[in-house]
Structure 1
């Protein structure tokens, strides 16, 4: 038996309950959870924006220590430190071989909620979400859902590499390939947005403009590398960007709203590139002025930073240990599992960059 935070109804608080885990199958790994970050994707799921069978255990921004492995797992062993991959990938399908690991849909390694039977309460199935279910003291996952990391990397900070930091920095390094000396605008200064700003600074962008409606987040953005800030609650972000730099080479939308996605395109300089990172409601449609395509402006999506997970997570570890990647500053609070609902309240109020559940 292990403790887990379970979602039993959309719009309801999570409940801390005991769950049972099955023994690792041939390609599975049992991990002692060290830390798990609270992500807006989890909050959206709790609110019912994206629905799946209940009861369920969410949590995907996770790190831990390997306890045991299945008989076919030869590259991980007891005691290894690992980071969970939100996008478990097979490594050999068409998407993986083309370098798009985050788009892997192989049923060999991932399954829709309700199909896997790794968690239970007696005869009642508890559903695994995102193929991880990190809001628990243990997690049982496919081997391809884990990346081994250096043992000297602090695990509470390593947890963030699996989603927020990978998404933001990957959008800069891989999706957009930001060039040194360029101009960048980032709309939304939560965990993903701050990581995007940090990534742009590491990439050598000359001007990094942070846009948000909360002064506290804009002040934090300066810590992560923003050279300019715009309060979207008191001025038009597009007009402000145009006044500052005449349009940016790269923009990043990190919220998931129709208005901000359209702004990300409107604030581009000719030949600029807008990268949309934010998570949208399923029915949202974006409208763009067709005449601006004559200026060769481009817009693209990015999921998990278009990352190569087994390569990029290790590189982010090295950047942190070198002092370039700001993870300490990203963690606003460390909380216990029983305080997880308070952590999500803090998120909704916009008072934290990231809260991390730390397990003893």
Structure 2
């Protein structure tokens, strides 16, 4: 089969729109026709070489589509099903999986090789291997994924909106509902209101948090955060952020979410905590970003730091729940989306690098 796709051929270079060959699904795999794919910062990290991969590869890890075919042994989906793709397939057998924490699966490292679980790729070009990205490769009209990555969802919701659930929405909303388990009495700050941060704001609103302070340097992002549920806005380039947040929250927040992954914003988020508060690290940081910790202050104030990987989510449980939130109107996705064709993929990444508000969705 032939499929039009966006390929990462070299780092720090534009993606190449080309036609690739796609093999059918093998045992335990699913062939999906992608209808919409989100443009996410993790893809940008791959383009910039922050995280290296086997090249060339079909980029994209956030998307939704319709099942075209299934391999032997697949029982969770069938042709015609609408699915949202998860970039973190879990084994269902290791200790974290058996404890209901599939985001911490001990058998989740194999996608980094750019293959499917059997160590081979379903993509090719002129007889040479083209690699997968995150076991999903959603910037392709057709892709083959592990059956665990194809989560069936209701057919009466637009796949353009649902495409974001596979990464930014599940990570952000999950950080609030699963990792922090926010409650109505909580005071919250979200540092960094890009795609993930905006969905942390939404998760905090869905949880009923009494105060939700959005912190960002972009007035556009802040205005979008207000529309999605932030009760207060703080521009990090205007005045003393710590003093402003403390004034709004009467001394600091119970939960500070950091969605950027940089040392300076992590330190800022830590400084926003009230006594007994928790810092939730959500942003993807490089290995060089090391947090300095004042141990005595941490002990005396009983503050804590917790990591959040993929919103501590269980895709099989959480994706359908997020779809229900969207259908009920409590999860706002259409307000965040700008739709573009695959041919505009490099423009979309250029806009993402400038931290413009909202998210671009590639529609096939």
Please give the range of the TM-score, normalised by the shorter of the 2 chains: over 0.9
Tell whether the 8 Å contact from 1:5 to 1:15 is kept in structure 2 after alignment.
Answer: yes
CA-based RMSD of the aligned residues comes to: 1.3
Q: How far apart, CA to CA, are the structure 2 residues paired with 1:120 and 1:231?
A: 47
Equivalence for 2:137: 133
TM-score (norm 1): 0.97
Residues 76-116 of structure 1 show CA distances to partners (whole Å, capped at 9, x for unaligned) of 11100000001111212222112221122427984622543
User: What SS class does the counterpart of residue 139 from structure 1 fall into?
Assistant: strand
Q: How far apart, CA to CA, are the structure 2 residues paired with 1:108 and 1:191?
A: 25
Alpha-carbon distance, 1:221 to partner: 0.9
Equivalence for 1:207: 211
User: What SS class does the counterpart of residue 128 from structure 1 fall into?
Assistant: coil
Alpha-carbon distance, 1:340 to partner: 0.3
1:1-360 paired onto structure 2 within 5 Å: 1-106=2-107, 110=111, 112-113=113-114, 115-245=119-249, 246-293=251-298, 294-331=300-337, 333-359=338-364
User: Structure 1 pair 108/52, CA: closer, same or farther in 2 (3 Å)?
Assistant: closer
Residues 154-184 of structure 1 show CA distances to partners (whole Å, capped at 9, x for unaligned) of 1001100000000000000010111112100
The count of aligned residue pairs is: 358
Alpha-carbon distance, 1:205 to partner: 0.5
User: What SS class does the counterpart of residue 305 from structure 2 fall into?
Assistant: strand
Q: How far apart, CA to CA, are the structure 1 residues paired with 2:243 and 2:155?
A: 47
Tell whether the 8 Å contact from 1:63 to 1:156 is kept in structure 2 after alignment.
Answer: yes
Alpha-carbon distance, 1:125 to partner: 0.4
User: What SS class does the counterpart of residue 356 from structure 1 fall into?
Assistant: strand
TM-score (norm 2): 0.96
Alpha-carbon distance, 1:291 to partner: 2.3
User: What SS class does the counterpart of residue 69 from structure 2 fall into?
Assistant: strand
User: Structure 1 pair 73/281, CA: closer, same or farther in 2 (3 Å)?
Assistant: same
Q: How far apart, CA to CA, are the structure 2 residues paired with 1:132 and 1:224?
A: 28
Alpha-carbon distance, 1:318 to partner: 0.5
Q: How far apart, CA to CA, are the structure 1 residues paired with 2:135 and 2:241?
A: 38
Q: How far apart, CA to CA, are the structure 2 residues paired with 1:108 and 1:23?
A: 23
Structure 2: which 5+ residue stretches go unaligned? none
Structure 1: which 5+ residue stretches go unaligned? none
Q: How far apart, CA to CA, are the structure 1 residues paired with 2:72 and 2:354?
A: 46
Q: How far apart, CA to CA, are the structure 1 residues paired with 2:186 and 2:27?
A: 48
User: Structure 1 pair 184/112, CA: closer, same or farther in 2 (3 Å)?
Assistant: same
Alpha-carbon distance, 1:330 to partner: 1.4
Q: How far apart, CA to CA, are the structure 2 residues paired with 1:322 and 1:58?
A: 32
Residues 177-197 of structure 1 show CA distances to partners (whole Å, capped at 9, x for unaligned) of 111121000001111111100
